[in-house]
Structure 1
Amino acid sequence: MLTEADLDALLAGRHTDPFGRLGLHADDSGRLWVRALLPGASEVALLDAGSKKHIVDLTQRRGGFFEAQVPRRKHRFDYRLAVRWAGGGEGVYADPYNFYPQLGDDELKAFAEGRNFRPFLSLGAHLVQHGDVSGVRFAVWAPNAKRVSVVGNFNNWDGRRHPMRLRHIAGVWEIFVPHAGVGDLYKFEIVNGNGALLPLKADPYARQAQLRPDNASIVAPLPEPTPLPRQRERANRRESPISVYEVHAASWRRGVSGEFPTWDELAEHLPAYVADLGFTHVQLMPISEHPFDGSWGYQTLGLYAPSARFGPPEGFARFVKAVHDQGLGLLLDWVPAHFPVDAFGLAEFDGTRIYEYADPKEGFHRDWNTLIYNFGRTEVRQFLIGSALYWIERWGVDGLRVDAVASMLYRDYSRPAGEWIPNIRGGRENLEAISLLREMNEHVGEVEGAITVAEESTSFPGVSAPTYAGGLGFHYKWNMGWMNDTLRYMAEDPINRRWHHDKMTFGLIYAFSENFMLPISHDEVVHGKGSMLAKMPGDDWQKFANLRAYYGFMWGHPGKKLLFMGQELAQRNEWNHAESLPWGLLEDDRHAGVQRLVRDLNKLYREHSALHRLDCEAGGFEWISAHDAEHSIYAWVRRDGTGRMVLVVCNMTPVPREGYSLGVPDGVTAWKEALNTDSAYYGGSNMGNGVAAAGLPVQAQPAHGKRLSITINLPPLATVFFVPI
């Protein structure tokens, strides 16, 4: 019989080796005993698993603990427990304590040594089959815990029912729970090293979770590997046109329920809309599970779970397919920079700071009241890299936009002197985070066609350079400097723009130092910054004209493009995450005109290789006029490296310029207007250069340092594109 000390420890939920006591065991005399801890049971009997024959009734000693000596058996055998519950009901169950360790020593050793970059295959909740018994294998990393149990609706949330086995090689706790299955709710009950019971913890590797305010993890199948469609591999390359439509899924268009749309509702409308507007990619703000709506997903606690706000995970799979069926790519915002302090999450997960840095000077973000991952710890690095690979390999998304990279790169990010810890070299760079990002990008880079994009706001060198060349290895970097400079310029009254002319040209000094993406993201239309239309000066006509001219400037400028949802509508109010976009604006032709312009800019960008093929190379750009501050005019030529060209001219004042001489490159006899943001079709004054088949003939008249020129009409507050005939 079990000793009273062992029994006390089991009933108190503090036994350090439950697998050594529960289940089938031989005593010192070689006699077999079977023991089960089943609080709430009134009767338990031992059955032979094969014949289903009754072997012996177990005796209840106290607190739901049952045991019996097994008659006539000398060797281990497969058995079942027939249980009658005190509250009514009965069943026959396999015993979780009759199964051997679930995880192999090799995979645990790889995890402990930092070599398992797909830890989601080992940890979390996995559906498994042992003979005729189906169930769920639960595994969680909690190296400093004294006891870990899995609790859920399959055991009445009783931590005494399923205490887990500690695999010392990796600090991983595991158990196979027979008869658990898809849809079961679960958490981990953890006793810390001091013997204190922690708040129940959600599974860091959960693939599905409850909708807030509930926060239990849900058993869900592991998605099958989903490779990118072959055409998507080519579409993500640097020489391809990449124009991204950024979406906050909860507020693009409200669902039938009036709150969150389902993945299927989004799949029905969003991809077709984005494709119709000519964008090449959809980018979703973070859709991994997060507790607070107002964080927009940027404070995530479920790096492996599509948010329950939009329905079950299988709906997300259908959404991904719908995006690809429209010929679009899908990028996800991915947040390895920080995580919230909610008690059910990663914070002090096993009673110690295993996911976050131990010292708040390293591990706490003042700006967001969040914690910072310990980027140097092997288990945390695998958790993060595994998440990146999970979304790409298992869901088939094209890539990740990595949020808040600057906050990862610098230890003194948003910290005053004395409130940060230098690196081992005495510097401010976070060497562990830099190493993590490089490693993550190298692994993602092994997936054919997949890309990563960095939101990085500093001048850190080589963000989009290969790791073998000393870079971070991202494929693209958001050009935050370009965005800030040009929006400050556009906010100026046109009469004052002559004094700020360099804000529009400065970006070309460094435009080819990285593979840049030009972002007009959600960050530019929140927190009192106003909408894009509201940023523009002047009366209503000038606001619309300024906005159209700016979009033309952006699409003509080197760099991939990104526009946040609603800006194609010329939204008047800044974005509100709790409301749907103001689709009714399209009933006003001025707003519909801006939408038509965005569609045509994307069409032009995609059709003319000169506007995208050398987006990231100096050979694809040449200034024609960069210094005409007096008239606030800019002109340049885009090239594709094979002889194709596009001329782009911007007039950033409300003064029309008729008969303007524009210098042009050699090799073309005539040019024609391809797009004019002042067209009446877009809501402009319709001043332009006609559509005559003969176009605008090149004249042997020098201008702008060129020996040839054309004479054009330059509309007020407009950008005009010309292509060779």
Structure 2
Amino acid sequence: MSVTKEKWQADGREIEAIVAGRHSNAFAFLGLHEVDGDWVLRAFVPHAETLNAYTLDGTPLGHMIPRHSAGFFEAKVDIKSRQPVRYDAKNAGGSWTVFDPYSFGPVLGPMDDYYIGEGSHLRLFEKMGAHEMEFEGIHGTHFAVWAPNAQRVSVVGPWNEWDGRRHPMRNRQGIWEVFIPVLGTGTIYKYEIVGPNGQVLPLKADPYARQAEVRPRNASVVPDPTPFTWTDDKYMDERARRDWRRTPMSIYEVHLGSWRRRPDGSFMSYDQLAEQLVPYAADMGYTHLEFLPVSEHPFDPSWGYQPTGLFAPTSRFGDPAGFARLVNAAHEAGLGVILDWVPAHFPTDEFGLSHFDGTALYEHEDPRQGFHPDWNTAIYNFGRKEVSAFLTNNALFWFEQFHIDGLRVDAVASMLYLDYSRQPGEWVPNKHGGNQNLEAVAFLQRVNAEVYRQFPGAFMIAEESTSWPGVSAPTYAGGLGFGFKWNMGFMNDTLRFMSRAPIHRRYHHNDMTFGMVYAFSENFVLPLSHDEVVHGKGSLLNKMPGDDWQQFANLRAYLAFMWGHPGKKLLFMGQEFAQREEWSESRSLDWWLLDSPPHEGMRRLISDLNAAYRSLPALHARDCEPEGFEWVIGNDHNNSVLAWVRKAPDADPVLVISNFTPVPRSGYKVPVPKTGRWVERINTDAGWYAGGNTGNQGAVVAKAVEGQHWPAELEVFLPPLATLFLKYEPD
């Protein structure tokens, strides 16, 4: 006997599409719908044999009629308006409660649609991803993801047996969203996406996920929505009033996984790092910690530079609140926190952004623009407004949610040049025929301008290795808008000089002086970073020539030279105590070396250099301006001696003298701007630093001279392979 289908009943083809996971608009079909004046309720609940519907307050809506053995039910219900619905489901194994996601309205509103469509939404991190919330009278989690070319997107996890048929999302202009009741903190999830050709893609992690599973697992995790209680108001207030160009900035660059390990070799937690790393760096006199990327990443040897979860602090060391506690502890100790940030490229792991909706969505389709030959990674399509908004929001997210003080932007040169690491014919010129990536320039200007506009006292640093003009010039003057730029030239030139035997240094004197030709063309950070102590380059100590004593003396003299040179300072962890082995991310630093006097002496020197740099305005207040520096001896090639004066308004000048040969020089004459007493503030040959303990008994008196360029002159003893800081002391 055939059963006549009534008007309100669903078309069998649509039911089959839902059951097969092929329906492209589940919200138009499932849940409550008005059909010819009647309210009809439809649900897909796999494993259910019977289904009864209720309103949230428990009012029965009736028994649902099964239409498909896979678990599709529908019924005409007596209800006056759309409202949330729950079901009691039963089978032979028992009963369970299901809340119908398709009986809820959208969470995103028309203003979200407008600003997302325009690419100007600056609060995307509050709208996209997974957010636990109260909505229409019930607790649950809202999910939202951008996949404009997908036929279907579903949220899947162990809670729905990773079944993409159960929770397909609502498509609104390429943003797919769904509110799923009951789900909350700790829920593991991914997105199942059906691409434009109908192919089910590998499951994707959430691009906006704020938490992820510990690798090698890679699913996203619904984060705890409890707001973090910050206690760093004093630091943030003071930060907002700072001009960092004229403020001491001494940065301790740290890889969190290998700074120190637990006795069993496992990682320290964010909380343990807060207890140990923060007081160590503060005691050493640093002003900032800089962390290699903390965004979630699957591969430890990438050091974080191939991130797959840009909004999630890596779960290796704990949860997001743990990372917030680490930043808060740093601020309470007077330390700023800088994060390395990677907007230049992303890895092609299939669970990540690569071909996210079955098309080149975040990356360029053309491999000449979208594939990075050096790192086998994908390059963001900066010209796409949604991609620019995604990355801009990510930068703002770290400043807002985690009170970060600065971002050091990785591989900026690779973003600026279309022909970076490419041969002729392997790249696509811009619209003017040039090699500048105009879209990347616009993106960098946008993100820098937004950071400086929204977060007083925050700053952006470019790792940029070319002579691109105006990297640290403001965007309104046509610059890229960074606050600072890494001075890669200084690092390359000076390390090349220091690696030579002292007898040959006279022929390469300009390696140490050339940096001053362009020292004030940008606001520079002088970096001795992790890149200098990996991949067979050895540690800084091992770059130095000579026997063990000379290697230590060279390194002490070199680091003091750098601390006396104009520019902010950055030193990678382990180099402050002259780690002998090349750095490896897979093990702790060799802290036992501090039992040895030369290593402990190096640590003391860095601490004292930081103290001198911070306490003497002449050494920092004009780090980025030419009036803060003047050569007094720049061309003594034969003796490899350099001397200069550091100055600042209303500050006593500081004389810096470096002797880069192992020959001690007594009675060495140095011109100075003032007669009187010059006190030895730093002497890298001091016994306190495990040096030879020669010097000037603490002070030298400068005498007036006639007919010279400088009004005064002092005679000093220059210890071998040593740098001196002499501070003028007025009577």
- Common fold, TM-score beyond 0.5? yes
Letter in 1 for 2:581: N
| Structure 2: runs of 5 or more not aligned | 1-8
CA contact (8 A) 2:660 2:722 kept: yes
Name 2:692's counterpart in structure 1: 685
Partner SS state of residue 304, structure 1: strand
CA contact (8 A) 2:49 2:71 kept: no
The alignment status of 1:59 with 2:59, answered yes or no, reads no
Name 2:5's counterpart in structure 1: none
The Cα shift of 1:236 comes to 6.0
Letter in 1 for 2:668: Y
The one-character-per-residue Cα deviations of 1:250-298 (angstroms, maximum 9, x if unpaired) are 0000135522111001000001000111000000000000111010000
Aligned match for 2:350, one of 323, 343, 351: 343
Name 1:527's counterpart in structure 2: 535
Name 1:265's counterpart in structure 2: 272
The Cα shift of 1:637 comes to 0.1
The Cα shift of 1:643 comes to 4.4
CA contact (8 A) 2:39 2:78 kept: no
The Cα shift of 1:78 comes to 4.2
The alignment status of 1:417 with 2:421, answered yes or no, reads no
Letter in 1 for 2:151: K
The alignment status of 1:275 with 2:279, answered yes or no, reads no
The Cα shift of 1:703 comes to 9.6
Partner SS state of residue 593, structure 2: helix
CA contact (8 A) 1:518 1:554 kept: yes
Aligned match for 2:608, one of 600, 612, 615: 600
Name 2:715's counterpart in structure 1: 711
Q: What is the distance in 1 between the residues matched to 2:187 and 2:68?
A: 29
The one-character-per-residue Cα deviations of 1:482-510 (angstroms, maximum 9, x if unpaired) are 00000000000000000000000000000
* Higher deviation after alignment, 259-268 or 52-61: 52-61
Aligned match for 2:638, one of 617, 623, 630: 630
The Cα shift of 1:89 comes to 4.5
Aligned match for 1:187, one of 190, 197, 213: 190
The alignment status of 1:295 with 2:302, answered yes or no, reads yes
Aligned match for 2:85, one of 79, 84, 96: 79
Aligned length: 716
CA contact (8 A) 2:15 2:72 kept: no
* Equivalent residues in 2 for 1:632-651, closer than 5 Å: 632-651=640-659
- Residues 77 and 463 from structure 1, CA distance in 2 versus in 1: closer, same or farther, beyond 3 angstroms? closer
- Residues 425 and 76 from structure 1, CA distance in 2 versus in 1: closer, same or farther, beyond 3 angstroms? same
The alignment status of 1:172 with 2:209, answered yes or no, reads no
Q: What is the distance in 1 between the residues matched to 2:123 and 2:55?
A: 39
TM-score (structure 1 length as normaliser): 0.97
CA contact (8 A) 2:430 2:436 kept: yes
- Residues 249 and 614 from structure 1, CA distance in 2 versus in 1: closer, same or farther, beyond 3 angstroms? same
Letter in 2 for 1:262: S
Aligned match for 2:499, one of 491, 496, 499: 491
Name 1:153's counterpart in structure 2: 158
The Cα shift of 1:395 comes to 0.6
Name 1:449's counterpart in structure 2: 457
Q: What is the distance in 1 between the residues matched to 2:499 and 2:708?
A: 28
Aligned match for 2:167, one of 162, 165, 169: 162
The alignment status of 1:462 with 2:474, answered yes or no, reads no
Aligned match for 1:241, one of 241, 244, 248: 248
- Residues 75 and 634 from structure 1, CA distance in 2 versus in 1: closer, same or farther, beyond 3 angstroms? closer
Name 1:217's counterpart in structure 2: 220
The Cα shift of 1:644 comes to 2.0
Aligned match for 1:395, one of 395, 402, 406: 402
Aligned match for 2:444, one of 422, 437, 449: 437
The one-character-per-residue Cα deviations of 1:116-138 (angstroms, maximum 9, x if unpaired) are 12211211111121243111111
* Higher deviation after alignment, 112-121 or 438-447: 112-121
Q: What is the distance in 1 between the residues matched to 2:177 and 2:136?
A: 19
Q: What is the distance in 2 between the residues matched to 1:72 and 1:546?
A: 87
Q: What is the distance in 2 between the residues matched to 1:179 and 1:90?
A: 17
The one-character-per-residue Cα deviations of 1:591-647 (angstroms, maximum 9, x if unpaired) are 000000000000000010000000000000000000000000000000012242000
Q: What is the distance in 2 between the residues matched to 1:612 and 1:582?
A: 31
Letter in 2 for 1:383: F
Q: What is the distance in 1 between the residues matched to 2:99 and 2:372?
A: 47
Aligned match for 2:618, one of 606, 610, 613: 610
Aligned match for 1:141, one of 136, 141, 146: 146
The alignment status of 1:569 with 2:577, answered yes or no, reads yes
Letter in 1 for 2:720: P
- Residues 195 and 273 from structure 1, CA distance in 2 versus in 1: closer, same or farther, beyond 3 angstroms? same
* Higher deviation after alignment, 183-192 or 119-128: 119-128
Q: What is the distance in 1 between the residues matched to 2:616 and 2:591?
A: 30
Name 2:367's counterpart in structure 1: 360
CA contact (8 A) 2:265 2:587 kept: no
The one-character-per-residue Cα deviations of 1:131-184 (angstroms, maximum 9, x if unpaired) are 43111111100000011111112312110111011102xx10111101110100
* Equivalent residues in 2 for 1:193-208, closer than 5 Å: 193-208=196-211
Q: What is the distance in 2 between the residues matched to 1:309 and 1:287?
A: 10
Aligned match for 2:383, one of 361, 376, 383: 376
Q: What is the distance in 1 between the residues matched to 2:449 and 2:719?
A: 48
TM-score (structure 2 length as normaliser): 0.96
Letter in 1 for 2:140: G
Partner SS state of residue 324, structure 2: helix
Q: What is the distance in 1 between the residues matched to 2:298 and 2:116?
A: 28
The Cα shift of 1:109 comes to 1.5
Q: What is the distance in 2 between the residues matched to 1:659 and 1:681?
A: 24
The Cα shift of 1:712 comes to 0.7
The alignment status of 1:652 with 2:657, answered yes or no, reads no
Q: What is the distance in 1 between the residues matched to 2:89 and 2:547?
A: 79
Q: What is the distance in 2 between the residues matched to 1:291 and 1:494?
A: 45
Q: What is the distance in 2 between the residues matched to 1:85 and 1:212?
A: 37
The Cα shift of 1:107 comes to 1.1
Name 2:21's counterpart in structure 1: 13
* Higher deviation after alignment, 112-121 or 473-482: 112-121
- Residues 257 and 209 from structure 1, CA distance in 2 versus in 1: closer, same or farther, beyond 3 angstroms? farther
Name 2:3's counterpart in structure 1: none
Aligned-residue sequence identity (percent) comes to: 54
Letter in 2 for 1:41: A
CA contact (8 A) 2:84 2:104 kept: no
The Cα shift of 1:64 comes to 3.1
CA contact (8 A) 1:255 1:265 kept: no
- Residues 311 and 72 from structure 1, CA distance in 2 versus in 1: closer, same or farther, beyond 3 angstroms? closer
Name 1:481's counterpart in structure 2: 489
The one-character-per-residue Cα deviations of 1:558-585 (angstroms, maximum 9, x if unpaired) are 0000000000110111101101000000
Give me the CA root mean square deviation.
1.5
Aligned match for 1:253, one of 260, 265, 270: 260
CA contact (8 A) 1:224 1:394 kept: no
CA contact (8 A) 2:154 2:193 kept: yes
The Cα shift of 1:49 comes to 2.5
- Residues 75 and 230 from structure 1, CA distance in 2 versus in 1: closer, same or farther, beyond 3 angstroms? closer
- Residues 723 and 60 from structure 1, CA distance in 2 versus in 1: closer, same or farther, beyond 3 angstroms? same
Q: What is the distance in 2 between the residues matched to 1:43 and 1:544?
A: 79
Name 1:546's counterpart in structure 2: 554
Partner SS state of residue 97, structure 2: strand
Letter in 1 for 2:666: E
Name 1:720's counterpart in structure 2: 724
Q: What is the distance in 2 between the residues matched to 1:321 and 1:182?
A: 23
| Structure 1: runs of 5 or more not aligned | none
Q: What is the distance in 1 between the residues matched to 2:332 and 2:91?
A: 52
